Amino acid sequence: MRIERLEAEDTKSGLRELAQRFGDDVLIIANTRHTGKNHFVFAVDDTPVAPADRWQEEAPALTIRPQASAACFVAAAEEPAANSGLAQAAAPALATTALAGVQELSLLMKTEFESLRRALRETHNSPSRDSAPEGFQLSEHLEEAAISARLMKKMQALTAHCTCTSDARQLLQEFLLENLPASTELSPEPGVHFLVGQAGVGKTVNAFRLASHLQEQGRQALVVGYKPTRDGTWTQLQLLGAKRGIDVYQAAEWTMLLSIIHEHMGHASIIVELPSTLDFTELQRLQNDLTFANFHLLVAKDTASTSSRGFRQGTGLSFASTWITRLDSPGVCWPLMETLLETRTPLLFAGAGPLPASPLMTLDKRMLAEEVLKEIAD
């Protein structure tokens, strides 16, 4: 008996080749698949066969002999014929050959099993092709960026397969440019503009910036303070208007506001600063009654993502544009990014500094994307 190996593309082709080469005289010991192929281990009996007249034609009879209340199967071998001529030493030689074959088979099977176990262990310990490479970890770059867990999870999934920082930055830039709102332009025609936003966002300063911007283009503009609630608001409006050469008005009630709008509409742009304490119901009334007016939402660069959510969700309010204020503040930009990603309101202006003399800048989402991605350093 000898032990051999065969390598085949698959099980079917391996069995076909074994049948063609050895017929029924082959014993398949193992069939394993690794390295993309099937590996067969098989045994072939190559013991010389004596002539037919030197062997008995029939197999030994099988009898059962009871022994200690157990059944023991014993093969009752008949005595060889006296004239068979078979050497008595053939039986021990045959037993020795069979024992050597069994030992060789046992050793080979042990080797094959160890090889298979090693291959499985290496496959289990090797990193999965679908797992994130170790070359880039977004959380290490944006650990102090004040990003919500929801947005961070989305961006980590987006950059999971990146192998370097530049690839991750490129993917994030494409994500921001695709999802941030587009830019828009201010109409050249005289109009009515309401500035809406949280307290301290800079509505007063940016109202005068817009009026100065229009006057520099040769258009007339005026500023209206509607229902001023802070002490000294009217005095501040008068002072800023005098320094900038801009007319200012105060409308303490709805009827006064309508009167100012109807008096100046058509030949001047009217910029109305709305108080942060204005009820959403009244703000909705303004939008419903003054459908020709433009409402602009002002959001500070260092705002929290929840600060302006009340103006954007569940109120039925709509805005013609979004302005970014305090662009020079040291706060992080990612909360602002979350605010802008939640709305499709077009971007219009950005302002920096506390003084009205600072000009309004046209706002572009590419500028914002580049600003926040500076935090992802190589």
- Specify if 82 maps to a domain: no
- Specify if 28 maps to a domain: yes
Residues 157 and 206 in one domain: no
Residues 229 and 301 in one domain: yes
Give the pLDDT of residue 291: 95
Residues 146 and 39 in one domain: no
Give the pLDDT of residue 105: 72
Residues 353 and 231 in one domain: yes
Residues 316 and 349 in one domain: yes
Residues 115 and 154 in one domain: no
- What is the number of structural domains in the chain? 3
Residues 281 and 203 in one domain: yes
- Specify if 75 maps to a domain: no
Mean of the per-residue pLDDT values of the chain? 80
pTM for the model = 0.63
Residues 154 and 224 in one domain: no
- Contact status, residue 267 vs residue 220, Cβ threshold 8 Å: yes
Residues 114 and 150 in one domain: no
- Contact status, residue 323 vs residue 206, Cβ threshold 8 Å: yes
Residue 220 pLDDT exceeds 90: yes
Compute the distance between CA of residue 102 and CA of residue 81 in angstroms, rounded to an integer.
30
Digit-coded pLDDT (tens) for 141-172: 888 888 888 899 999 999 988 888 889 999 99
Compute the distance between CA of residue 27 and CA of residue 19 in angstroms, rounded to an integer.
11
Contacts of 215 (CB under 8 A, 6+ apart): 221, 245, 246
Q: CATH number, domain at 317? A: 3.40.50.300
Digit-coded pLDDT (tens) for 300-329: 888 776 666 666 655 678 899 999 998 888
Residues 157 and 253 in one domain: no
Residues 204 and 310 in one domain: yes
- Specify if 53 maps to a domain: no
Q: What CA–CA distances, in Å, run from 111 to 9, 34, 42, 108, 260?
A: 22, 15, 14, 5, 97
For residue 40, the enclosing domain spans 1-47+97-120
